[in-house]
Structure 1
Amino acid sequence: MTRFDADTEEGRRELFVDAIAAHTERGSPFLTIEVEADEPPSADTGDEGDDEDEPEPVPWIQFADGVVNLDCTEDELDRANALLDEYAEFVVDELTRPEKAEGVNLRVAARTDPARVAEFVDRVFQDVYDCAPDYRAWIAAV
């Protein structure tokens, strides 16, 4: 791979296809895609323990062995399920609600080609995580 980020729909989807190919060729354990944070973390205000200053977690998606893996809130899970209605070749493989963590881990089996996986991943970032149409995605691990 020669580039690791993109911020247009076409560019992101091409990037995701290239990353899936690199992941497959390398036989790596997984591929990780992250979204660029909207704002850098705020400067230290001196208020220790104030959770309101904590930056929001950056959305991420992993892909390995034909499975798309993501963490989400209950609201995001509802949006993910609505999106899955549009993608018959994507099926919930596993849904885990860890006791010591908030949210849900969703594993979706993708029985399709890399281009369709790339389209689905792009839609997850926009429709499930509410990313803007011009969000920047980064390949964090291949």
Structure 2
Amino acid sequence: MLGINTGSPSLLDQARDNLKKAIKEGTLQVARFEVVNASPDVKAKVEQNHQNNVRALEQEKADYRSASARTSVDAQTNSASLPDVATLNKDEAKSMLSGLRQMNYVGDLDGKTLSASNGNLKTDSLATYMQWLQARVGVDVYA
């Protein structure tokens, strides 16, 4: 009889952990595909798609590094302070939002008490802070 070994992580868990590690370390890469016997037009489209994906990934890496650098973490109090949304321009808010999504995914903020503001408004909620960033960027969260 075959059974499931619950004592070791599943392949999916291992893949997720490896993805989180690659995001944190900045080593995540875009795979390159080759279409055998493809026409020159198809090959050109595949290459263009690859280059677009490389640029997008590099932007996400930069967003993660930027958001990490803008977030003040105090290990003694296990707290994190996020920059005031009101001080960010649209591009900075967009980058912060992208980077925070990644920080949240990899667990950089897990268990930390958050401190964030938007002008005179204060919050300890990551969801509220991200909504403020979306509003700054111009994304209607209720649309």
TM-score (norm 2): 0.24
Greater share of residues in strand? 1
Greater share of residues in helix? 2
Question: Which has the larger Rg?
Answer: 2
The structure with higher relative contact order (CA 8 Å, sep 6+) is 1
